Structure 1
Amino acid sequence: MPGGPPRPGGTAVTDTTTDTTTAADRRPAADARPPRRKSRRTRRAAAATVVVAAGGAAAAVALGAGGGTAGGTAAGGLPPQTAKVTRQTLRDTHSADGELGYGPASTATSRLRGTLTALPGSGDRITRGRTLYEVDDRPVTLMYGATPAYRALRPGLTGSDVRQLEGNLAALGYDGFTVDDEYTGDTAAAVARWQEDRGLAETGTVEFGSVVFAPGAIRVDTLHAGQGDPAGPGGKVLTYTGTAKAVTVELDAADRRLARKGAAVDIELPGGDTVKGRIDEVSTVIEAGDQGEDPQTKVEVIVVLSGAKAQQASEAYALASVDVSFTAGTRENVLTVPVAALLALQEGGFGVEVVTGSTTAYVPVTTGLFAGGRVEISGAGITEGTIVGMPK
């Protein structure tokens, strides 16, 4: 006799043979009917779970695709839920707690013997050519440069520290010499004029310890000695930071991909305002474990606030906790689906279950960026608005 009405999601089948069975014989056993929908949902959920656990990597246990082949008609009924393929911009972002301050502190140590006769106050800002502290009433001067002072500078010497000194003298208005790597008699004459203005003996030689080089203007953070204390080579005098507001963030080693020097970040201040920042320094630090625990590897990120507007917005906060949003990757104008829509195909790779009317088909796809619970996909026939199956 002719077959009955088509199954949901299937195709009607016509049987031309003579049916000699009884109604009881035709009734299938309760345990003989394959639980296709339940099986599909289980497989789909498993595939999505594996993808999420892999952090978006294309690695998953190969699962059967409901008995169908990639690109073929799927067996069983329609999926319990569906979603549309949408076109959008994906951003792989991550938020982390940060501490707003002035960035990492550096230590100024004395190279001169004597007594500390003058010190700045905590929070004081000192610029090029100004006194950082005094030893036996002799000023120790702040100058700008990346190379720390490591020797006395006198005629006949060459090196990058000579050029650094001459660049500072020129910036302070002294002339009559060429800014280069050679400490000439002309350089010594300019140094003597500078020494006269500073109240120092006009020797033309820069005594080791009479100048401290820092990358730029500084803010005194903490004093480690007091006025009247003895000064000596290696003795800590004070710590200092830069003058611009900065945020320090500690990331887990697994999030190292987020910390790219020069990358832009968003910083949410305690009042709710969001300002822009830029990653300035990235370093690896080892934190000692507590009570016998293993040490932990962390990634320390220094973020500088970008522009006068951001600096001004942060001035109301001396020290504060802030929220920093990193963007590890961006894909613009791409097709996306919820991660849960992905299936791991038995033949390898990923696919989605495309729903067309009352039928479905498994279509292989190539995955791209994973972000915010969605994944970038591409594949034959995958267009904006395509309907794909979803688990409950």
Structure 2
Amino acid sequence: MSGMFTDRDDGSTAGGPGQDPAAGGENGEVREAEPLPEGTAPAGTPGRRRHRTVLVAAAFVVVTAVAVVGALGLGGGGAEGPEAPPRAGATVAVTRTTLVERTKVEGTLGYGTETPLPVKATGTVTWLPEAGATAERGDTLLRVDDRPVVLLYGTLPMYRELGLTAAATAPETGASPPPTPGGTGDEGSTSDPRGGTGSASNPGGGTGSASDPGGGTGSGKGTAPPPATPTQPPPPPQPLRGMDVLQFESNLAALGYGGFTVDEKFTSATERAVKDWQKALGVPRTGRIGLGDIVYASGRVRLGQAGVRLGSAAGEDVLTYTGTTRKVVVNASALEASWAVRGAGVTVGLPDGTPVKGEVAAIGRQATAPEGDSGPPTVPITITVPDQRALGRLESGPVSVEYVGRERENVLAVPVAALVALAEGGHGLETEDGRFVAARTGLFADGLVEVSGPKLREGLKVRIPQ
């Protein structure tokens, strides 16, 4: 029927007028499709889908361009975009100050180098002190043959016994005078040497024949010898003189003994004072000081470890000593020891971090090569600590010593972090407004650096970059 769809045996459909030109007609024939008007396309065809895709893409490009222009502030009503964030970093002012370069070196706290005591006593050691004991003027250092060896103060060593000296030998008194030649005899008889009176031929001095050498009793009268005079007492001893006497008498007076004049003469008055001192020591009162009875030191001493045992023979190595003042010794490089000037102040850092003031007391004059020949030679530098109480109970141990190496007064300075490296070389500073100015560097100390340059002035604000 015209205008109706019918089912075919093969499942296909056929349409009437207006159906798809590609479909068959009533007789199953295929007819050519009629051409459509130019520029048109049936709905739902691929050509239309492609056209819609192109339109969507174009719209996306336009929207994106508008967004970019708006973001750049080039359109959209002329509104300004946000400003760029400021640069990070603090600003500081160039200051005028004094820079001090400080350097730390290692040192050792102790009592100094032990020195042998000049003990001159001979005999057997019968008593020794404990190591670390202190002794002062008048104290017993040790006992030799149970006799005390006493400490006195002085710089002149003991080199002789002290006491009164014997007087010079005088001619003996009471002896007969030598015979007088010729004696007193008869006139003209001068040949009689024994002083008798007689003839010249009688040598015996008597009267007799010439052949009698014995000299009997002649007519001559001989002279009797003078009577012997009584023996004279020996002259008194003479005073001993010398600087060692003055040094000893000064100590004897300091110990509380008097009755004599402190001078260079050891007199009988000094002898009496010595006997009183010997009585207090419990030794025989001889009034004389033996060579090994005393030992001189410059002051109080701290005794070290004994070099011998009880029962050994005494000698100069029997005991060692140090001073009683704690000090610091630094083995400084001989090439960098110019800071060590006698009297220069330093800071001693104790093991617990406590700072203590010190002072350079002595600089060694002999350099020593380190062990293994590694590094430059060193010289010992001794540093004293005036306030011994600040050291507490610490007697020895490692410490640090901080000294002033160089010092620059009245210079411009900035923090080291403010320095920047310039492309053309050297260093510079960035000002607050972003300019860079050249700066010559000098001393670095305590986190600051000395700077100088024609464009630098005190108070100029510079930036510390981060």
Give the TM bin, normalised by the shorter chain: 0.5 to 0.7
Question: What amino acid sits opposite 2:119 in the alignment?
Answer: S
Q: Residues 310-349 of structure 1: matches in 2 within 5 Å? A: 310-311=390-391, 313=392, 315=393, 317-331=394-408, 334-336=411-413
Residues 341 and 389, structure 1, Cα contact 8 Å, conserved in 2: no
Paired with 1:190 and 1:138, the residues of 2 have a C-alpha distance of 19
What residue number does 1:243 align with? 324
* Structure-2 change in CA distance of 1:338 and 1:164 (3 Å): farther
Paired with 1:295 and 1:196, the residues of 2 have a C-alpha distance of 60
Give 5+ residue unaligned stretches, structure 2.
1-90, 164-238
Question: What amino acid sits opposite 2:386 in the alignment?
Answer: S
Q: CA deviation at 1:134?
A: 1.1
Question: What amino acid sits opposite 2:281 in the alignment?
Answer: R
Task: Give the secondary-structure state (helix, strand or coil) at the position aligned to 1:192.
Answer: helix
What residue number does 1:189 align with? 272
What residue number does 2:458 align with? 384
What residue number does 1:163 align with? 246
Question: What amino acid sits opposite 2:272 in the alignment?
Answer: A
What residue number does 2:293 align with? 210
Give per-residue Cα distances to partners, 1:241-294, cap 9 Å, x unaligned: 122222222111123222222222222222222222222222134435656x49
Cα RMSD (Å): 3.7
Q: CA deviation at 1:372?
A: 4.7
* Structure-2 change in CA distance of 1:209 and 1:386 (3 Å): farther
* Structure-2 change in CA distance of 1:358 and 1:218 (3 Å): same
What residue number does 1:273 align with? 354
* Structure-2 change in CA distance of 1:245 and 1:389 (3 Å): same
The question of 1:108 aligning with 2:117 is answered yes
Question: What amino acid sits opposite 1:132 in the alignment?
Answer: L
Paired with 1:181 and 1:378, the residues of 2 have a C-alpha distance of 68
Paired with 2:264 and 2:314, the residues of 1 have a C-alpha distance of 31
What residue number does 2:62 align with? none
Task: Give the secondary-structure state (helix, strand or coil) at the position aligned to 1:93.
Answer: strand
Paired with 2:156 and 2:414, the residues of 1 have a C-alpha distance of 53
Residues 284 and 297, structure 1, Cα contact 8 Å, conserved in 2: no
Residues 108 and 236, structure 1, Cα contact 8 Å, conserved in 2: yes
Give per-residue Cα distances to partners, 1:86-143, cap 9 Å, x unaligned: 2333223221112222222111143121111111011111121100011111111112
Give 5+ residue unaligned stretches, structure 1.
1-81, 344-350
Give per-residue Cα distances to partners, 1:136-194, cap 9 Å, x unaligned: 111111122333333434442222x4333233222211223343444444434333322
* Structure-2 change in CA distance of 1:288 and 1:362 (3 Å): closer
Residues 122 and 220, structure 1, Cα contact 8 Å, conserved in 2: yes
Give percent identity, aligned residues only: 39
Residues 93 and 328, structure 1, Cα contact 8 Å, conserved in 2: yes
Number of corresponding residues = 296
The question of 1:262 aligning with 2:336 is answered no
Paired with 1:389 and 1:119, the residues of 2 have a C-alpha distance of 72
Q: CA deviation at 1:237?
A: 0.8
What residue number does 2:333 align with? 252
Paired with 1:295 and 1:341, the residues of 2 have a C-alpha distance of 34
* Structure-2 change in CA distance of 1:331 and 1:225 (3 Å): same
Q: Residues 197-236 of structure 1: matches in 2 within 5 Å? A: 197-232=280-315, 235-236=316-317
TM-score normalised according to structure 1 size? 0.63
* Structure-2 change in CA distance of 1:362 and 1:333 (3 Å): closer
Residues 157 and 182, structure 1, Cα contact 8 Å, conserved in 2: yes
Residues 223 and 238, structure 1, Cα contact 8 Å, conserved in 2: yes
Task: Give the secondary-structure state (helix, strand or coil) at the position aligned to 1:207.
Answer: coil
* Structure-2 change in CA distance of 1:377 and 1:361 (3 Å): closer
Query: 1:92 is matched with which residue: 98, 101, 113?
Result: 101
Q: Residues 286-301 of structure 1: matches in 2 within 5 Å? A: 286-287=367-368, 290=371, 293=373, 297-301=377-381
Paired with 1:185 and 1:227, the residues of 2 have a C-alpha distance of 38
* Structure-2 change in CA distance of 1:145 and 1:385 (3 Å): farther
Bigger radius of gyration: 2
* Structure-2 change in CA distance of 1:167 and 1:330 (3 Å): farther
Which one has the bigger helix percentage?
1
Paired with 1:257 and 1:83, the residues of 2 have a C-alpha distance of 35
Give per-residue Cα distances to partners, 1:218-242, cap 9 Å, x unaligned: 111211011100124xx30111112
What residue number does 2:18 align with? none
Q: CA deviation at 1:326?
A: 1.9
Question: What amino acid sits opposite 1:255 in the alignment?
Answer: E
TM-score normalised according to structure 2 size? 0.54
Q: CA deviation at 1:354?
A: 7.8
The question of 1:135 aligning with 2:144 is answered yes
